[in-house]
């Protein structure tokens, strides 16, 4: 799964949590579920650009210390395993996370599923309910 989609999904789920710790944990769990869906990945350079844009958008719109940002980080962290494996030339069959051990028939040629997941997550993140919750939180903290 594209890392930026993991970030958006984790952020949307993080907003449902009571704390940043819960948000990060739920984000990490969402990573496994999202990786199990049919998908394809991008080149590392393309993944990095999209991930930077997604995390930047989440940080700016939801707050860098928000549950949403914690959920995004938690959702992306499991892919550190993929980055380390590529850097050290470790075969996919030896990776720890089962969803990182190859596509297992879940590879698709398109991005429709990931795009749908990203758009649904964006709707949750930027929708009217999210804006109300963020305003309430800012009001309580000042």
* Residues in touch with Zn ion (CB under 5 A): 35, 79
Which of 121, 130 has the CB closer to Zn ion? 121
Look-up: residue for tokens 């009217």?
128
State which residue, 35 or 68, has the beta carbon closest to Zn ion: 35
Q: Sort 12 into a burial class: Cβ within 10 Å, 0-12 / 13-18 / 19+.
A: buried
Q: Whole-angstrom Cα distance, residue 130 to residue 18?
A: 14
Q: For residues 15 and 46, what is the distance between their CA atoms, to the nearest angstrom?
A: 27
Q: How many other C-beta atoms lie within 10 A of the C-beta of residue 117?
A: 20
Q: Of 35 and 130, which CB lies nearer to Zn ion in the complex structure?
A: 35
Three-state DSSP class for 39?
A: strand
* Dist. CA 57–CA 18, nearest whole Å: 22
Which residue's CB is nearer to Zn ion, number 95 or number 133?
A: 95
Least CB distance to Zn ion at residue 21 (A): 21
């Amino acid at each position: 799964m594209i890392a930026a989609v993991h970030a958006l999904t984790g952020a949307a789920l993080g907003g449902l949590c009571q704390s940043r710790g819960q948000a990060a944990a739920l984000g990490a769990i969402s990573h496994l579920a999202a990786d199990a869906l049919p998908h394809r990945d991008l080149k590392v350079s393309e993944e990095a650009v999209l991930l930077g844009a997604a995390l930047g958008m989440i940080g700016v719109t939801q707050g860098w210390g928000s549950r949403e940002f914690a959920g995004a980080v938690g959702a992306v962290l499991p892919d550190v395993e993929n980055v380390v494996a590529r850097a050290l030339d470790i075969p996919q069959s030896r990776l720890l996370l089962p969803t990182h051990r190859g596509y297992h028939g879940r590879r698709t040629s398109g991005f429709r599923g990931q795009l749908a997941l990203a758009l649904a997550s964006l709707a949750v993140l930027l929708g009217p309910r999210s804006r109300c919750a963020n305003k309430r939180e800012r009001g309580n903290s000042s």
